[in-house]
Amino acid sequence: MAYVDVNTENGQVQATPLRGVCDVHRLVDGDTRERWVLFCTMCESWICDECRGNWPKRARAAILKRMGR
């Protein structure tokens, strides 16, 4: 388990990346390959660097997560 330090000033998560499955890739693409991921407290998901700036894809993943997938 990683230590996650939340910077309350701007809501960004400051943490050391870990090897794990990106929840956005898993939910949207069905891709379960390990990547370097960080935990996002806003999404309550592990997200890779590639998906961090891809807000449309993150929105699709959030909808799928709420639907229980």
pLDDT score recorded for residue 3: 43
pLDDT score recorded for residue 12: 53
DSSP 38: E
Contacts of 44-48 spanning 24+ positions with Cβ under 8 A: 46/18, 46/20, 46/21, 46/22, 47/22, 47/23, 48/22, 48/24
pLDDT score recorded for residue 69: 74
Q: Taking residues 13-34, what's their average pLDDT?
A: 88
pLDDT of 18 over the 60 cut: yes
Number of domains into which the chain is organized: 1
Domain that holds residue 39: 4-66
pTM: 0.74
Other beta carbons less than 10 A from residue 45's beta carbon: 20
